Amino acid sequence: MKKISILLSIILLLQVCVRAQDENPKVQLAVRAGLNGSTLLIPNSTIQNVSAFGYSSNQKLKIGATAGLVVDFRLREKLYLQTGVLYSWQRLSQIQNAQYSDTLGIRHSVASNNLYTTHHLKVPLMLFYHFSEAKNHFVAGAGFFLDVAMAGKLTYNGSEVLTTEDKVFSNILEGELELYKPGKKEIYYCEANDNTFQHYLLAQDKILQRLDFGIGMELGYQISQFYIGVHADFGLLNNMNPKFTQHKYVQRNLNFQVMLGYKIN
For 42-65, write each residue's pLDDT tens digit. Answer: 887 776 666 556 778 888 889 999
The stretch 33-45 carries a mean pLDDT of 88
Q: With 90 as the cut, is the pLDDT of residue 214 above it?
A: yes
For 96-122, write each residue's pLDDT tens digit. Answer: 888 877 777 788 888 889 999 999 999
Residue of 10, 28, 60, 37 lying closest to 255 (CA atoms) = 37
Q: How far apart are CA 149 and CA 140, in angstroms?
A: 27
For 187-213, write each residue's pLDDT tens digit. Answer: 777 766 666 667 777 777 888 999 999
Using DSSP bridges, classify how beta strands 168-178 and 136-163 pair: parallel, antiparallel or unpaired: antiparallel
**Average pLDDT of the chain?**
84
Tell me the whole-structure pTM to 2 decimals: 0.80
The domains of the chain are located at: 25-263
In the chain, the N- to C-terminal Cα span, in Å, equals 40
Compute and round to an integer the Cα radius of gyration of the chain.
27
Q: How far apart are CA 135 and CA 118, in angstroms?
A: 37
